[in-house]
Each structure stands twice: as structure tokens, then as C-alpha cells.
Homo-oligomer: A and B are copies of this chain.
Amino acid sequence: METQDGGLNIYGGVLFKMGIKFASRMDNIKSSAIRELLKLTEIPDIISFAGGLPAPELFPVKEMQEVCVRVLEEDGKAALQYSTTEGFLPLRAKIAKQMSHLGMTCDAQNVLMTSGSQQGLEFTGKIFINEGDTVICESPSYLGALNAFKAYLPKFVEIPMDEDGMLIDELEKALEAHPDAKFIYTIPDFQNPTGRTMSLERRKRLMELAIKYEIPVVEDNPYGELRFEGEMLPSIKSFDTKGLVIHLGTFSKIFAPGLRLGWVVADTEVLQQYIKVKQGADLQCSTIAQREVDKFLEMFKLDDHIEKIKNVYRKRRDLMIETMRKEFPANVTFTVPQGGLFAWATLPEGQDAAHVLKLALEEKVAFVPGEPFYPNGGHANTCRLNYSNMPEDKIVEGIKRLGKVLRSLQ
């Protein structure tokens, strides 16, 4: 295998100039296709449906000014000092309380603060995966999770989905075929990349299977609070009677990603593993960021803020879907998400979304081809479309341009 700089891999690892030998796992870690694509989308005037960024105009900037001053006035020394690995206790207590929205009963002792939920995913890989182990995930699944897991050299078994999420019969077949699988990774609410939501019945059945096969479930839930319509579904963790579900949450989509604050909710004994790994990884999350978010939750109503976000994203979703219905050829299908940040389009079999992207960039519109979201590849005819980060007029204009490109390929 040849490495980027032409060195030959003769050590079961990357051989670098001057004989530097990297670990084997580095062969398996690729720079995120999306992060690389995001660089392309920095071209001025581009209409980008590529990223997964929240709308910055909704960030509570004014409130944060108040909050920052208050935190430093009230206990500035503590805010700038080292603190515990687990995280700021009052904030963990508030998060535990917030989890009741999802039907979960937990307390601060079940919560570990992480640097975004991405860090929870990375820790999951580290804690569970030996080289060659099997990880079960939705097909497609979140690229950032797949990349985090890949560093630990697992095999992926993909479970097909329909509009109600993972096909549970297929999951059971996979569990039978892979009794040593390490965990099931799922994003039940407004999944990244498809925007699909797992039905209540499937959540229950998934939990039953997890208990039957004694397998942990990693429930990644960055978007669950961003439901535009219908009733909020209880989390899979809420049906967990055996301490098998590890639930990941984050402030990135309901508050601000720039603070890098997420959390893991788990049975205390499982959480102990995450805490140990957090110590070695970076000791703790930012003390001041934790105290700022805690102060924000004290001074303002997070739920009101979430309501504002939902109203804006709902409109953007409506416009994107409506415009796709008008502008896309009939043989292009797409999901209609009930919340979250993403829709998912499937082009006719044989079309290549990477080629479509190339044409789209000429029209100054961008999206993410779907193939990298399939850990075992394939499905080159799929596309992820983000609607949270573009204003309404640009959504309409961008989808029109994309429609023009797609019609030209008919």
C-alpha cells in the first residue's frame, strides 16, 4: 500500500520519510470527506447544503455576553481552573433533568461531559472495539461516527432502513449471524444523513433484541429536541431496564457548537469506563464553557430557545421539500424529515452523486454525496442535503439550480 507521500507500507503501518513509522490504524483513518468538502464550499457566493452547521443567526450572542460576565464575576478563578473529569455537577444535574423530555430517568451521576458528542463516539470506539470486532449500524450512518470507530479497526455490518428507521428483522438476523458484535450504533431521531426517525414500535423491539442478545446500544441523539411536528418519541434509553444503552447528547444543535459541549448518559458502571478514557484523552471539558452553559440554563429558558430554532428550521425544511417537489425530476426521490437538519435524496440507479456535485459546483451549489455514509461503500447515487444553514431565498435558488443539473442528466 502506498502512502500519501509515496512511502511504502512495510511495517503494517505507514512508513514516513526518515523512517517514522505510524501505527497500523492510521491507514484506516481518512480525513473526513465532509470536512474536506466544506473547504470547497468556502468559495464565495456558493449556496451550500453540504455542511451540518446550525444557523448562526439564532445563536444567543447577547445572552452569552451577559452569561460570560456573570460567570467571571461570580467565580472567575474557579471558572479558569482545572476541574473534575466528570464535569460541572450543577450542569450535569440540569442535563439529567432535561433528559426527561426523552422519557429518561437519570441523575447527575449518570452524566459525563464530553467535547461534543463526537468525543462520546470516539470514546465508544476506544472502549469497545478490538481490531476485527463487529459494529452494527444503520445503512447509511453518520460519517463522523464511522470515522471515529474506524480508528479501532472494526468490521461494520449495515442494517437496511426504511422510512421508520432500521429494519428490525434484518437487525435480528445480523445479531444471530454476529453474536460477538460489540454494539449497535443508531441515531433514532432525524438521522444523519437520512433525516429518518425510528418508530416507537421499532425502538421497543430494538431494546428487546439488545436485551435478548446482551449487546450494548449506542444511541446518538444530537437532533432529538428539534422536532417540527408530531409527538416526541421516547429515547431507546428510556426502555433500557438493563443498563445496556449509552445515550449521547450535545449542546451543538440546540445551543451552539463552538463551545464543544456534549454528554454521555449511561449506567454508572459503564460510565466509569468513559470517565477513565476522558481522563487520558484531555482530562476534562472546558471549565468556563461548562459554567457558561450552566449559567445560561439558569438565566434563560433553553426550551424557548429551542422553539425559536425549530420554527426557523421547519420553514427551511418546508421550502426545501416544496422546491424539490417542483424542481427535481420525478425519478429522484427524497425523505421528508420531521425534524433535524437533513434531507436525503436518491438519484436514479447508475447516477453518480460525486459527478452531480461537480456539475452543481459549476452552478455554485453544493451538497454531500452519500457514499461515504455507507461504511462498506456503494450507493453512489445518494445525496445529503442540509437545510439549517441557508436562508430561505438561497434554499429555493439552490434547489432550483440543483434541479436544473439533475434534469440535464435525464
Q: Is A184 an interface residue (CB 8 A)?
A: no
User: Chain B residues with Cβ under 8 A from A53's Cβ?
Assistant: 81-82
Q: Give the A interface residue count (CB, 8 A).
A: 93
* Least Cβ–Cβ distance between A235 and chain B, in angstroms: 19
Q: Is A73 an interface residue (CB 8 A)?
A: yes
**Which of A146-154, A190-198, A354-362, A363-371 lies at the interface?**
A146-154
**Which of A126-134, A226-234, A334-342, A397-405 lies at the interface?**
A126-134
Contact between A259 and B282, CB atoms less than 8 A apart: no
Contact between A13 and B81, CB atoms less than 8 A apart: no
Contact between A288 and B259, CB atoms less than 8 A apart: yes
User: Chain B residues with Cβ under 8 A from A258's Cβ?
Assistant: 79-83, 286-288
Interface string of A75-99 (1 = CB under 8 A from B): 0111111110100000000000000
Also in contact, A281 and B82, with CB within 8 A (given A26-B127, A129-B23): no
Contact between A280 and B214, CB atoms less than 8 A apart: no
Instruction: Choose among A22, A119, A243 the residue with the greatest number of B CB atoms under 10 Å from its CB.
Output: A22
Contact between B151 and A277, CB atoms less than 8 A apart: yes
Q: Which of B59, B69, B270, B273 contacts A76 (CB 8 A)?
A: B59
Contact between A144 and B280, CB atoms less than 8 A apart: yes
Interface string of A270-296 (1 = CB under 8 A from B): 101101110111111111110000000
Contact between B61 and A80, CB atoms less than 8 A apart: yes
Also in contact, A18 and B214, with CB within 8 A (given A35-B279, A76-B61): yes
Residue of B nearest to A281 (CB): B122
Cα-based distance from A289 to B78 in the complex (angstroms): 16
User: Chain B residues with Cβ under 8 A from A57's Cβ?
Assistant: 77
Cα-based distance from A408 to B280 in the complex (angstroms): 37
Q: Is A257 an interface residue (CB 8 A)?
A: yes
* Least Cβ–Cβ distance between A83 and chain B, in angstroms: 7
User: Chain B residues with Cβ under 8 A from A108's Cβ?
Assistant: none
Contact between B64 and A80, CB atoms less than 8 A apart: yes
Contact between A64 and B35, CB atoms less than 8 A apart: no
User: Chain B residues with Cβ under 8 A from A287's Cβ?
Assistant: 257-260
Q: Which of B20, B56, B147, B260 contacts A282 (CB 8 A)?
A: B260
Q: Is A72 an interface residue (CB 8 A)?
A: yes
* Least Cβ–Cβ distance between A63 and chain B, in angstroms: 10
Q: Can you report 13 residue pairs joining A to B where beta carbons are below 8 Å apart? A: A20-B215, A23-B126, A29-B276, A56-B78, A64-B76, A68-B68, A79-B258, A114-B282, A115-B281, A116-B282, A122-B281, A126-B151, A281-B281
